[in-house]
Amino acid sequence: MKINKGLLFFLVTLCISCKSQTKKINGISFVASRDSINTKHITPVLKAQSNYVALMPYSYIRDIATPKIEFNTHREWFGETENGLLQYAKEFQKAGVKIMVKPHLWLRRGGFTGNLKPTTEENWQLLEKSYKKYILTYAKVASDLDAAILCIGTELEQFVKERPLYWQNLIKEIRAIYKGKLTYAANWDEYKRVTFWNQLDFIGIDAYFPLSDKKSPTIKDYEIGWQTHKKEIKRIQQKFKKPILFTEFGYRSINFNGKEPWQAHRKQGEINLQAQSDALQAIHNQFWQEDWFAGGFIWKWFHRHDKVGGENNNRFTPQNKPAEKLLQQLYSQ
């Protein structure tokens, strides 16, 4: 039988395209708590059509004047520790949900981790040594769990910028322990300056890009706001030939939520449930059909689904809001 090469090429291309669309990472950032979890806590995640969760073991620095990272202490909640990560991950894996291990650093006396920048070489060494111990611990855990993705850091701009050789060598050490996919969660205004994307598998972005100054933007308004950012994201993607992963994305259910989407002041923001839904629809419209886009993890989801969110909640969570029903539809596609 004679094969039409043109038709064969078309069918193979179509198959690859379809495959790329069905394998998006439809992720949820699952917040650590004091408690262990079970199927009751996982069922709402499955209902949301999520195929991945980001689990976030925490570390902290007591005082940036002596930036030693501490982790797995009695000061942390169960879900923030190694044992908590193991318990959460195994429960999700039983349900067929894949895992991204995404360690987070917290500065106890306040401040943004992206600004963490020791002023002496002694303190740089203290930070580097303790961070290596922290991340290699979770590289081993990620390996033991067979986690699909390990995020090697979250929003550490000055640390990454000032110590490039440290990060290059650290990635090599992580690779020796963990054989899965690697990413780094760069802040939305940081990702263009990260120099080690070529050593990782995904270009990770915490995608809190400013999109609109309007009180209640329409879907079209949000999509217009995405155009300049999307062009730059695609430029970086083409430069490094790595897929883009939104390691975090999300919007609060408030007025003006497209102006400074990263703002998390608890008491500020008049409730606007429609704005949250419209912003989520717009980001999905702009990215989820792109072949170079791997997917993302919505910020954020709490384990006690019946106790959080709701129509009087102005926070990031989509739970028990119109945004949750929309997320189910978007992720099911």
Residue-wise pLDDT for 229-281, tens only, equals 999 999 999 999 999 999 999 999 999 999 999 998 877 889 999 999 999 99
Q: Is the pLDDT at 2 greater than 90, yes or no?
A: no
Q: Percentage of residues in the chain with pLDDT exceeding 70?
A: 93
User: In the structure, what pLDDT confidence band is assigned to residue 22 with cuts at 50, 70 and 90?
Assistant: low
φ and ψ at residue 80, rounded to 5 degrees: -90, -5
The answer to whether the beta carbons of residues 100 and 55 sit under 8 Å apart is: yes
Higher pLDDT, 107 or 7: 107
Q: What is the pLDDT of residue 280?
A: 98
pTM to 2 decimal places: 0.92
Q: Percentage of residues in the chain with pLDDT exceeding 90?
A: 88
- Mean pLDDT is lowest, of 18-22, 34-38, 317-321, for 18-22
Average pLDDT over residues 158-172: 98
Q: Comparing C-alpha atoms, which of 95, 106, 183 is closest to residue 139?
A: 183
Q: Is the pLDDT at 5 greater than 80, yes or no?
A: no
**Strand pairing category for 58-61 and 69-71:** antiparallel
Q: Which superfamily is assigned to 24-332 in CATH?
A: Glycosidases (3.20.20.80)
Q: Inter-axis angle of helices 219-240 and 273-287, to 10 degrees?
A: 40
What is the average pLDDT value for the chain, to the nearest integer? Answer: 93
Contacts of 185 (CB under 8 A, 6+ apart): 102, 151, 153, 154, 155, 204, 205, 206, 247, 248
Q: What is the pLDDT of residue 12?
A: 41
Q: How far apart are CA 114 and CA 108, in angstroms?
A: 14
Q: What is the pLDDT of residue 311?
A: 95
**pLDDT tens sequence across 174-204:** 999 999 999 999 999 999 999 999 999 999 9
Q: Where are the domains of the chain?
A: 24-332
Q: Is the pLDDT at 157 greater than 80, yes or no?
A: yes
